[in-house]
Structure 1
Amino acid sequence: MLTGSLVALITPMHTNGEVDYASLKRLVEFHIEQGTDGIVAVGTTGESATLPAKEHIEVVSKIVEYANGRIKVIGGNGANSTLEAIELTKGCEKAGVDAMLGVTPYYNKPSEAGLIAHYKAVAAATHIPQILYNVPGRTALDMKPQTIAKLCDVANIIGVKEASGDVARVAELRQLCGEDFLLFSGDDATAKEFMLAGGNGVISVVNNVVPKLFKRMCDAALAGDRELATELDQPMRQLHDVLFIEANPIPVKWAVLQMGLIDNGHIRLPLTELNSDFHGQVKQAMKMAGVEA
């Protein structure tokens, strides 16, 4: 079962822009060693928007290969074109992922009917479990709980990553979709409260930097231990903010570079590397969370 602390993994790159597979393999090993419950491959944090479909699928395939069954792998299969989403879906299925994460079609602003038809078409293209992904801050589209309720009866749509930051949606989604429908937070700042309210886990950016601590916080929150979860979350509060001081994944990629986990912090245009004005703030937040940079 996909629950707990899942990392929205960065995609390391060489200075020429090509994917750095040696560093990628180290990242997979790092998260296995640290106890992370699952890896999301080539989601927003993995720069899915700038990886063409063939390369996107290759990166997902490599992560599955490196994981070798030791950790769950969720492949990103979202696109603003349904045909492209289906292409990514078939590629992720061939790669051997455990599930897929599909963001709402961005920029297009489809109607509710179009959104439902999109997800049903993607789900029909595979037998692999699908997780919906609502992140209105990036897509200009908010998939409401009532819309999700019209999709949760599709056999292989098993859950949603809810990144609106609205913790109240947990109770609403539980009522509409039932206890078996998986609810993942996609907002690190409110993830603790999301899980304490009945969510099943979090797909996290901060988890790239402090996976062991983040895993402990998730375990405590899922066990209903508010006091311990709050105590463990407190050192990460600054990270929850500064890792979004510029567009994700700019700050987190720089932070992981400072940790020596990747060889280069290159990021593909139109994003650029972290402005030096913010280096001190990110380092301070990392120190507060017990990470030396």
Structure 2
Amino acid sequence: MAIGAVVTAMVTPFTDGGELDLDGAQRLARHLADHGTDTVLVNGTTGESPTLHGEAPWELLAAVREAVGGDATVMIGTGSNDTAKSVAATARAADAGADAVLAVTPYYNKPQQHGLVAHFRAVAEATELPVLLYDVPARTVTTLELATTTELSGVENIVGVKDATGDLGRAADVRLATRGAPGGFDLWSGSDEMNLPILAVGGRGLVSVSAHLVGPELAEMVRVFPSDPARALELHLRCLPLHRALFTEPSPAPLKAALNALGLPAGPVRGPLAEASEETVKAVLGAHEAIEALR
């Protein structure tokens, strides 16, 4: 599939001066593909998409596409709170080298549910690529209601939803209501703390921040869950302190600090985000070291 089970929402590496670091992006993308990632997502929230302007997202996509070759697929975030802008970006994605697109629920505008249906239909009609919806009400203020998600599952190339609602009951309802969708409709965890619970209610996989650091563990968790849920639980609990530490402060500041400390390309965050505190970085690195000790 164009969207694999382990999707890493990749940070966007910047130079010390805050410029786009395409060489670093290629090194990081290659590292991810070599450590459990099936699909690399660029220009997502973790990639600081609000601060990427002009040709930067497309330059990033091209660099990552070249770096991973056929070893991973590449997805690009094309969603925004402007339907025309989202449609234009989505229409460009295939020719730019993307295998799939991620479309976030429009933020700030607070559209009605029928407005969301029209928005996402327009996005899907702009491409033949698979479209993954992204429901993250903590960031957008707007939730994709169950009836809306069900209606959108009838659009053939809308293939699923990245669920960051934190509502496991609702996630199960989505799986139940969208069975038999014409193009198939799957569920990906959009919050690392919910990775295993989402799998338990029929999720296909996860869109992860932690996979930068624990990609092999997450890949094994997804792989063994159907046959060895006890092992999957062990892996999920092993990674849970890291999942939580990475969100002690707004993401991706803690992750970028950890990547820098571990010698992987990341660089600084762009404003208005601020660098993570020493206490947070210590917590992230400590959680990572505990996992490393068990490898």
Q: Matches of residues 106-185 of structure 1 in structure 2 within 5 Å?
A: 106-178=107-179, 180-185=184-189
Measured in 2, the distance between the counterparts of 1:104 and 1:53 equals 21
Q: Which residue of 1 aligns with 2:217?
A: 213
Distance in 2, matches of 1:288 and 1:187, equals 21
Please report the RMSD computed on the Cα atoms of aligned residues, expressed in angstroms. Answer: 1.6
Asked if structure 2 preserves the Cα contact closer than 8 Å seen for 1:64 and 1:95, the reply is no
1:21-40 mapped onto 2 (5 Å cutoff): 21-40=22-41
Aligned equivalent of 2:191: 187
Paired position in structure 2 for 1:267: 269
Match of residue 253 from structure 1? 256
Q: Deviations over 1:114-152 (max 9, x none)?
A: 111111111111111101000011111111222111111
SS in 2 for 1:52: coil
Q: CA contact under 8 A between 2:37 and 2:215: conserved in structure 1? A: yes
Residue-by-residue CA offset, 1:200-224 (whole Å, 9 max, x unaligned): 0000001111111111112122x25
**Structure 1 gaps, min length 5:** none
Q: Offset at 1:276?
A: 2.1
Work out the percentage of aligned pairs sharing the same amino acid: 37
The verdict on how the C-alpha distance between 1:246 and 1:128 changes in structure 2, with shifts beyond 3 A counting, is same
Contact 1:8 1:45 in 2 (8 A): yes
Bigger shift: residues 32-41 or 96-105: 32-41
Q: Is 1:4 matched with 2:8?
A: no
Structure 2: stretches of 5+ with no match in the other structure: none
Count residues in correspondence. Answer: 290
**In 2 relative to 1, CA 165–224 (structure 1 residues): closer, same or farther, beyond 3 Å?**
farther
How far is the alpha carbon of 1:170 from its aligned partner? Answer: 3.1
The Cα offsets for residues 86-122 of structure 1, whole Å up to 9 and x where unpaired, read as: 2221232221211100100011100001111111111
Q: TM-score, normalised by structure 2?
A: 0.94
For 2:227 and 2:202, locate their aligned partners in 1 and report how far apart those are by CA, in whole Å: 9
Could you tell me which amino acid in structure 2 is paired with residue 280 of structure 1?
K
Give the TM-score normalised by the residue count of structure 1: 0.94
C-alpha contact 1:196 1:226 (8 A) present in aligned 2: no
Deviations 1:215-249 (A, max 9, x none): 1112122x252200011122211111110011111
Is the alpha carbon distance of 1:109 and 1:291 closer, same or farther for their aligned partners in structure 2, counting shifts above 3 Å?
A: farther
Which segment drifts farther, 129-138 or 225-234?
Answer: 225-234
Aligned residue type for 2:185? F
Distance 2:48 2:84 in 1: 20
Partner of 1:284: 286
Output the CA distance in 1 between the equivalents of 2:293 and 2:53. 33
Answering whether residue 21 of structure 2 is matched by residue 20 of structure 1, we say: yes
Say which SS state the counterpart of residue 251 (structure 1) adopts.
Answer: helix
8 Å Cα contact 1:196-1:224 kept in structure 2 = no
Distance 2:261 2:92 in 1: 33
Q: Which moved more, 1:71-80 or 1:170-179?
A: 170-179
Q: Which residues of 2 match residues 77-92 of structure 1 at below 5 A?
A: 77-92=78-93
Q: Deviating runs (4+, > 3 A) in structure 1? A: none
